[in-house]
Amino acid sequence: MSLLDVTDLKVTYDTQDSKVHAVNGISFSIDEGVNYGLAGESGSGKSTAAEAILGLLPDNGNVEGGQIEFKGKDLTTLSEQERRDILWEDIAYIPQSAMDSLDPVMSTGAQIRQAIQKHRDVSKSTARDRVRELFDLVGLDPDRIDDYPHEFSGGMRQRVTIAMALALEPDLIIADEPTTGLDVIVQDKIIDKILEIQDRIDSSLLLITHEIGVIAETCDELSILYGGKVMEQGSVDNVLINPTNPYTMGLKNSFPELDEIGTDPVSIPGSPPNLDSEPTSCVFEDRCPFATEECAESHPDPVDLPNRNHNSACHNIRQAAQMREEAQDPEA
Ligand code: ATP
Ligand code: MG
């Protein structure tokens, strides 16, 4: 049993004229102490997966199938109260655009203090002391706990949300694009801070981002999501250094700093799949340079690769790898 086991999770959204199949049967596990990355382009279902795990889907979102087990407990069957108890206490969440989600009319320190007092039977002054400690921990001046969100820069507001997420020393931190929208230097500092504190409180991390470079730097394992499907998953070394899935290869090409060959970034031609129905073909078929007839007939099941901790959902894994090698080195 891992800390978090997600098995065959399916999530849809009801909209006025259709059902959006945002997550189509994804599985992954996070062990204790592991930093796990969830990568993929915009719309691939990353935030939906996180919100489903946390039980925070909007009203029109439905978990249609699958299990989400945290320490062996199925989160999909918890009562609202049980879920609220787990949230913050055991699993902390730094939502996408977290820095904009702070309450503008309450001081930052009071927001964190209230979160602490909801879960711990402590006095206001003890909770305030804890907030000061947390500010210090994330690199904010403890004398500023009475300042309001608008008095901080974007990077500082993001530090406040991290302080809030860490307040109860959770076992798992789920951070959805924690650095998006911040300048590069601040991004690095925020990531370093999350890693430093996470190491100190000994928690696991689920880091969601479309920037695979950030995952390469910070995570041990990852899943690459596309069209609500896991295309490839395993250890960061296996997946990002030796990708076998055409989608991962395309994604990696768009991040040249990860590529030893040093090519210019090439975005993958075409547009993301239509999610109005459950996929009947490989979700990447339209955009895949290696697609064959089989790819039009079904989405592939993940195939375990000879390396430990590496699988890839592709009908033509071997052919794709070979064609790619030939394309890189026509003399071979
Ligand atoms: P991004 O990188 O832009 O944050 P993401 O990978 O987090 O993207 P999601 O936000 O999970 O993607 O969205 C997955 C799909 O579900 C998209 O097609 C999106 O338009 C759709 N979707 C998300 N939220 C809703 C909603 N409340 N109602 C209807 N459709 C939604
Ligand atoms: Mg998102």
Token readout for 187 is 């991004």
* Range picked from 22-26, 76-80, 264-268 for highest mean pLDDT: 22-26
Q: How much is the ipTM here?
A: 0.99
Give the position, in ligand 1's atom list, of the atom nearest the Cα of 20. 30
How far apart are the CA of 175 and the centre of ligand 2, in A? 11
Is the residue at 305 inside a domain? yes
Which residue has a Cα nearest atom 26 of ligand 1? Answer: 13
pLDDT computed for residue 328 by the predictor: 66
Measured CA to CA, the distance from residue 326 to residue 244 in angstroms comes to 14
Which residue has a Cα nearest atom 9 of ligand 1? Answer: 45
Alpha helices in the chain (DSSP H): 46-54, 80-89, 108-119, 124-137, 154-166, 184-201, 212-218, 236, 246-253, 293-297, 317-328
pLDDT computed for residue 310 by the predictor: 94
Q: Identify the weakest region by mean pLDDT among 13-17, 109-113, 189-193, 302-306.
A: 189-193
How far apart are the CA of 267 and the centre of ligand 1, in A? 20
Give the position, in ligand 1's atom list, of the atom nearest the Cα of 228. 14
Is the residue at 276 inside a domain? yes
Tell me the ligand closest to 48's alpha carbon. 1
How far apart are the CA of 328 and the centre of ligand 1, in A? 35
Which residue has a Cα nearest atom 4 of ligand 1? Answer: 42
Is the residue at 137 inside a domain? no
Measured CA to CA, the distance from residue 284 to residue 269 in angstroms comes to 11
Question: Candidates 10, 12, 42, 64: which one to mutate for ligand 1, based on the most atoms within 8 Å of Cβ?
Answer: 42
Sign of the dihedral through C-alpha 318, 320, 326, 329: negative
On the question of pLDDT at 182 being above 80, the answer is: no
Could you tell me if 201 and 234 are in contact, meaning their C-beta atoms sit under 8 angstroms apart? Answer: no
At 261, is the pLDDT very low, low, confident or very high (cuts 50, 70, 90)?
Answer: very low
pLDDT, tens digit, for every residue of 242-259?
889 999 988 887 665 554
Is the residue at 35 inside a domain? no
Is the residue at 162 inside a domain? no
| Structural domains in the chain (count) | 1
Token readout for 145 is 């706990």
Which region holds residue 192: left if phi is over 0, alpha if psi is between -120 and 50, else beta? Answer: alpha
Average pLDDT over all residues of the chain: 89
Sign of the dihedral through C-alpha 207, 208, 211, 212: positive
Measured CA to CA, the distance from residue 150 to residue 103 in angstroms comes to 10
pLDDT computed for residue 262 by the predictor: 46
Question: Candidates 48, 53, 57, 206: which one to mutate for ligand 1, based on the most atoms within 8 Å of Cβ?
Answer: 48
pLDDT computed for residue 90 by the predictor: 93
Give the position, in ligand 1's atom list, of the atom nearest the Cα of 50. 11
Find the angle CA(86)-CA(92)-CA(89) to the nearest 5 degrees. 40
pLDDT computed for residue 12 by the predictor: 98
First to last CA, the chain: 45
Nearest one of 181, 186, 164 to 173, comparing CA atoms: 164
* Range picked from 80-89, 119-128, 185-194, 305-314 for highest mean pLDDT: 119-128
Is the residue at 280 inside a domain? yes
Q: What average pLDDT does the segment 17-32 reach?
A: 96
pLDDT computed for residue 258 by the predictor: 53
Token readout for 229 is 């499907």
Q: What average pLDDT does the segment 126-132 reach?
A: 96
Q: What average pLDDT does the segment 181-187 reach?
A: 79
Is the residue at 260 inside a domain? yes
Q: What average pLDDT does the segment 201-228 reach?
A: 93
Axis-axis angle for helices 246-253, 317-328 (nearest 10): 30
How far apart are the CA of 47 and the centre of ligand 1, in A? 7
Which residue range forms the structural domain that includes residue 301? 244-328
Tell me the ligand closest to 14's alpha carbon. 1
Measured CA to CA, the distance from residue 86 to residue 88 in angstroms comes to 6
Measured CA to CA, the distance from residue 126 to residue 303 in angstroms comes to 53
Q: Identify the weakest region by mean pLDDT among 54-58, 185-189, 259-263.
A: 259-263
State the CB neighbour count (10 A cutoff) for residue 247. 28
Is the residue at 322 inside a domain? yes
Q: What average pLDDT does the segment 33-58 reach?
A: 95
How far apart are the CA of 115 and the centre of ligand 2, in A? 24
Give the position, in ligand 1's atom list, of the atom nearest the Cα of 272. 18
Q: What average pLDDT does the segment 149-175 reach?
A: 92
* Range picked from 97-101, 160-164, 265-269 for highest mean pLDDT: 160-164
Measured CA to CA, the distance from residue 33 to residue 38 in angstroms comes to 16
Enumerate residues lining ligand 1, CB below 6 A.
13, 15, 20, 22, 40, 42-48, 58, 60, 96, 210, 275
